[in-house]
Structure 1
């Protein structure tokens, strides 16, 4: 999956390739994602979904008995395929690079994630909201994405520590500090419509100071 592909397009590609979902239901799922991203889950009705999909409202309920079931069906491909593919691409192409300084690594990672959020803000609002409140999604997602980040990040951290560029903490603690701080700050920008270009330098300065060697 190419890095430049946005998350909604990736979802649609997964839907197109699936042989287990009837064509009309694929239209329903695609329309649901669009509307949930545009106006939020709570503000979207099944009538609006049916209208956007070009099907009768009964078609929506034929497979998905409730709106919650419909949301679960929309999120499933993200958890099992889309997000892990994007994380793998990010880990290999952005994280696992021959960085020689902490500043270089953090600048590249933060800049890349800001660009990614700009291109996927609406979909990320839906995903992050549900991941924050649903432990089942977190349990499904964590084992799919954490090993990908660890595999590609830890070697970089070891090199930076050897070069006296990084605090000498265990890699899992450094990764937790980096990833948790980035998710929190960038999620804030997503939900408050804060200017991401302003959030970037603050995040970079905070991480660089916190991870600097003693």
Structure 2
């Protein structure tokens, strides 16, 4: 399997491909993402962003009147381009494989996604916080993410159910339990300052037993 790109690399690729954003603005957005991820939104100043982007602080303020406006500009490409691209890449690498058992599927998904959260934890904290509190971003994210999950995961779940490997529950519930278990571990890891991957084997065992056919 090829190495999956991380969130910041995907963001930089989206910025590089955009012909509508001037070079200085691209540097400001990339610098903002790096600093928000490293220090948090509240602890990052426009002066630091300007220094990282190698522009005058006035350049930042001419385009973005407030730091919230700057954050919105950083997050917008995530919901429309970056995250959908990463979901498609994950589907090609993990989901579209020939899994014969629920154990194989659950092990592959949990192992891969926990490692992704571990590698991208700083950026994911910023994204998760803003998606939770901002209805507009949450709506955009769900509008993009849900069809991708339905198109890529649901056919595999149906096949495993037909083979007697998976409990005959609605696909959205099965996806909810799989994704929700990993999200809860991400939250716990941030609160307890432990590696995201710590509980991987326990989560695999939990999901495999919980999703077993009756």
Give TM-score scaled by structure 1 length: 0.93
Tell me which residue corresponds to 1:89.
89
Residue number in structure 1 paired with 2:139: 139
Pick closer, same or farther for the CA change 1:133–1:192 going to 2, 3 Å: farther
Q: Is the 8 A contact 1:128 1:187 kept in 2?
A: no
Asked if 2 retains the 8 angstrom alpha-carbon contact of 1:185 and 1:199, the reply is yes
> 2: distance between equivalents of 1:192 and 1:136?
30
Q: Secondary structure at the match of 1:205?
A: helix
Superposition map of 1:192-211 within 5 A? 192-211=192-211
| 3-state SS, counterpart of residue 51 of structure 2 | helix
Q: Report the Cα distance in structure 2 between the residues aligned to 1:3 and 1:142, rounded to whole angstroms.
A: 26
Give how far 1:114 is off.
1.8
* Equivalent position of 2:68 in the other structure: 68
1:2-21 alignment runs, 5 A limit: 4-21=4-21
The answer to whether the Cα contact below 8 Å between 2:114 and 2:182 also exists between their aligned partners in 1 is no
CA distance in 2, matches of 1:92, 1:191: 32
CA distance in 2, matches of 1:63, 1:4: 33
TM-score (norm 2): 0.93
How far is the alpha carbon of 1:3 from its aligned partner? 5.7
**What corresponds to 2:101 in structure 1?**
101
CA apart distance, 1:173: 1.8
Question: Within 2, Cα distance between the matches of 1:191 and 1:9?
Answer: 26
Q: Distance in 1 between matches of 2:197 and 2:119?
A: 13
Alpha-carbon contact 1:186-1:199 (below 8 Å) kept: no
Residues 192 and 15 of structure 1, relative CA distance in 2, 3 Å threshold? farther
1:18-167 correspondence to structure 2 within 5 Å: 18-167=18-167
Task: Give the superposition deviation at 1:45.
Answer: 0.8
* Unaligned ranges ≥5, structure 1: none
What is the count of residue pairs matched by the alignment?
213
Task: Check whether the contact 1:36–1:44 (CA below 8 A) recurs between aligned residues.
Answer: yes
Quick one: distance in 2 between partners of 1:184 and 1:39?
A: 23
